[in-house]
């Protein structure tokens, strides 16, 4: 294995880099939760569109996950829980919103791409939980 150059290792090991990476990973969820919170009717309509019943309950749960998960990850408190919440949510959303196996043509192509992007985000949440745990052990 080839080691990273020192300046790269220093950047990757820094607290600001780790924080900015967590901001990047969670930003869409935090923004989505805030937008849904300020547009309750739109949030309920979105859940109804995906067949979630009762849609108001699912909208409230979605808002809670999209706000609480990022806050836990960004504050460094219970990162495993925040990452788990967002990872499970993202995996479920991938199956509900991107059921490419039921589609044809361009729609299938787009949904397949979105499905695997969601899987990549799930991997990102697993990694942030692992790195947070390793950093906590190192700092202890």
Two structure tokens written together for 1:
């294995």
Pinpoint the alpha helices (H) of 39-102.
Answer: 40-49, 55-75, 79-97
pLDDT for 49 equals: 96
Burial class (CB in 10 A: 0-12, 13-18, 19+), 94: buried
pLDDT in tens, 27-78: 999 999 999 999 999 999 999 999 999 999 999 999 999 999 999 999 999 9
Distance CA 59, CA 84 (A): 19
Residue 124 reports pLDDT greater than 90: yes
| pTM for the full predicted model | 0.92
Distance CA 62, CA 47 (A): 9
- The sign of the torsion formed by the CA atoms of 126, 81, 46, 52 equals positive
């Amino acid at each position: 294995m080839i080691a990273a150059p020192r300046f790269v290792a220093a950047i990757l090991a820094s607290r600001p880099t780790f924080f900015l990476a967590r901001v990047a990973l969670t930003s869409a969820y935090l923004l989505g939760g805030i937008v849904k919170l300020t547009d309750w009717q739109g949030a309920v309509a979105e859940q109804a569109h995906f067949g979630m019943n009762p849609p108001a309950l699912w909208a409230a749960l979605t808002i809670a996950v999209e706000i609480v998960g990022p806050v836990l990850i960004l504050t460094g408190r219970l990162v495993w829980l925040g990452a788990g919440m967002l990872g499970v949510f993202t995996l479920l959303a991938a199956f509900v919103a991107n059921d490419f196996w039921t589609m044809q043509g361009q729609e299938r192509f787009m949904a397949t791409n979105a499905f695997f992007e969601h899987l990549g985000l799930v991997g990102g949440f697993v990694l942030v939980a692992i790195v947070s745990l390793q950093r906590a052990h190192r700092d202890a």
